[in-house]
Amino acid sequence: MSITVGEVDQNLFNTKDWFTFIKENLDIYQRIKEYFVSKKNPYDCDIYLDTCTIIEHLQLEPIYVKQIMAIWHTNPCTFYAKYGRLYYDNNKNLWRYTIKKT
């Protein structure tokens, strides 16, 4: 099973492993947000990180991290209020996190 960066793998949703991953990592979006925020430049609201760096920091299986990131990326309205905006920049091949302005 593989997943393209920024694209949700619909087949992964039907696996027992996916449900187990979600149950064991209910705070995954918060952990990703905190990692991005820890890398913030004080002069910019956007933070850029590559997928491998995020996976290494979280120490989780890449396929699940990529899926979580893709879900966040493709459902921005669902996550913006609580976590901020996540977007995959194909030109830079990096994830761009925009801190929610209060």
- Whole-Å CA distances, 90 to 7, 23, 39, 43, 49: 12, 31, 20, 23, 12
Total domains present in the chain: 1
pLDDT in tens, 8-53: 888 998 899 999 999 999 999 999 999 999 998 888 888 999 999 9
Q: Pairing state of beta strands 94-98 and 46-49?
A: antiparallel
pTM: 0.85
Which domain range does residue 88 map to? 28-98
In a domain, 17, yes or no: no
In a domain, 12, yes or no: no
In a domain, 84, yes or no: yes
In a domain, 3, yes or no: no
In a domain, 51, yes or no: yes
85 has a pLDDT exceeding 80: yes
Considering the chain, what is the average pLDDT of its residues? Answer: 86
In a domain, 66, yes or no: yes
In a domain, 78, yes or no: yes
In a domain, 85, yes or no: yes
